[in-house]
């Protein structure tokens, strides 16, 4: 039994029964009580449960479950790194745009202690994540909810973005190529992201290293429209040269 597997089962149980008891879980999974406590620590960190003497209870606030496909995420450390870098770029009072990507969700988690931000996003997950901060303006684009995507897309979404203007936009993409520029999986996200770029003074592209040299279906924009690229690992020299030539800053 994997640790993550066990934690998922605990999470399931706490959803079903509203509470779990350390001693019971210890027997059920045949591990020590300390291990269970550590599991509960993790689950509490993530906001799923609230520990209590002898066990833990469901955290109603954080317990709204995300659909299954959202739960499993790849390269979380890389995305967390990127998010921390970006967090340093955001100042109190900034007006920013976050797109609908897992990286952007990490960014949202990392900037909650800042003050008086204005955030525009089309990501349901980010809205959820930020629903408990106070003193911010959080603006949701309207739009169509695409099944399983957790993001608002379509003409309405794109239009509503173009009525705003922000300091910084933080986007991600599926592919980044010297020739084809920035590309993404489908046209609908493309249109929204184009407007996000147009609405921002400074455009940050948050991509993990695997995206370099990839080309996806739909072109969002040329590389030159990006101001800063934030990533977790340096690509090889040719890329760096190209970025320098285009005046693109680079954060690792």
53 binding a copy of itself? (CB under 8 A): yes
Compute CA distances 19 → 26, 58, 125, 130, 173, whole Å. Answer: 14, 6, 25, 26, 40
92 binds, among DNA, a copy of itself, none (CB under 5 to 8 A by kind): none
Min CB(239)–DNA separation in Å? 22
Using rule CB under 8 A, residue 31 touches a copy of itself: no
Residue 237 CB, nearest distance to a copy of itself (Å)? 38
Q: Tokens representing 90?
A: 């955001």
Please return the burial class of 237, using the count of CB atoms within 10 Å of its CB with bins 0-12, 13-18 and 19+.
exposed
The contact pattern for a copy of itself, residues 68-107, with x = CB under 8 A and - = no contact, is: xx--xx----------------------------------
Q: Is 2 a residue that touches a copy of itself (CB under 8 A)? A: yes
Give the torsion through C-alpha atoms of 196, 198, 201, 202, to 10 deg.
60
DSSP 200: E
The answer to whether 195 and 161 have CB atoms below 8 angstroms apart is yes
Residue 127 sits in the site that holds a copy of itself (CB under 8 A): yes
Q: Using CA atoms, how far apart are residues 148 and 20, in angstroms rounded to an integer?
A: 30
Query: Contact positions toward DNA, by CB under 7 A?
Result: 1-4, 6, 22-23, 30-35, 37-39, 41, 51-55
Using rule CB under 8 A, residue 148 touches a copy of itself: yes
**At its nearest, how many Å lie between a copy of itself and the CB of residue 19?**
5
**Beta-bridge partners for 123:** 151
Distances (CA, A) of 205 to 31, 113, 159, 197, 242: 44, 22, 21, 10, 15
Positions that interact with a copy of itself (CB under 8 A): 2-5, 8, 18-19, 21, 50, 52-57, 60-61, 64, 66-69, 72-73, 124-125, 127-128, 130-145, 147-150, 152, 156, 160
């Amino acid at each position: 039994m994997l640790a993550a597997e066990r934690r998922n089962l605990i999470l399931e149980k706490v959803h079903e029964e509203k509470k779990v008891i350390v001693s019971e879980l210890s027997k059920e999974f045949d591990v020590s009580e300390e291990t269970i406590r550590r599991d509960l620590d993790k689950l509490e960190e993530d906001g799923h449960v609230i520990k209590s003497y002898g066990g833990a209870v469901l955290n109603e606030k954080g317990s709204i479950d995300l659909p299954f496909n959202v739960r499993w995420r790849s390269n979380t450390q890389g995305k967390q790194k990127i998010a921390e870098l970006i967090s340093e770029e955001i100042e109190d009072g900034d007006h920013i745009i976050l797109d609908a990507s897992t990286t952007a969700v990490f960014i949202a988690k990392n900037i909650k202690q800042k003050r008086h931000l204005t955030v525009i996003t089309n990501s349901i997950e980010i809205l959820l994540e930020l629903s408990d901060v106070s003193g911010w303006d959080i603006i949701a684009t309207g739009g169509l909810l695409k099944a399983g995507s957790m993001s608002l897309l379509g003409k309405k979404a794109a239009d509503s973005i173009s009525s705003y203007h922000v300091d910084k936009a933080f986007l991600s993409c599926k592919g980044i190529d010297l020739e084809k520029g920035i590309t993404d999986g489908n046209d609908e996200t493309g249109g929204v992201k184009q407007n996000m770029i147009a609405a921002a003074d400074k455009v940050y592209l948050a991509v993990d290293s695997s995206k370099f040299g990839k080309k996806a279906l739909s072109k969002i924009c040329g590389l030159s429209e990006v101001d800063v690229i934030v990533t977790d690992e340096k690509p090889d020299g040719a890329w760096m040269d190209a970025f320098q030539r285009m005046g693109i800053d680079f954060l690792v």
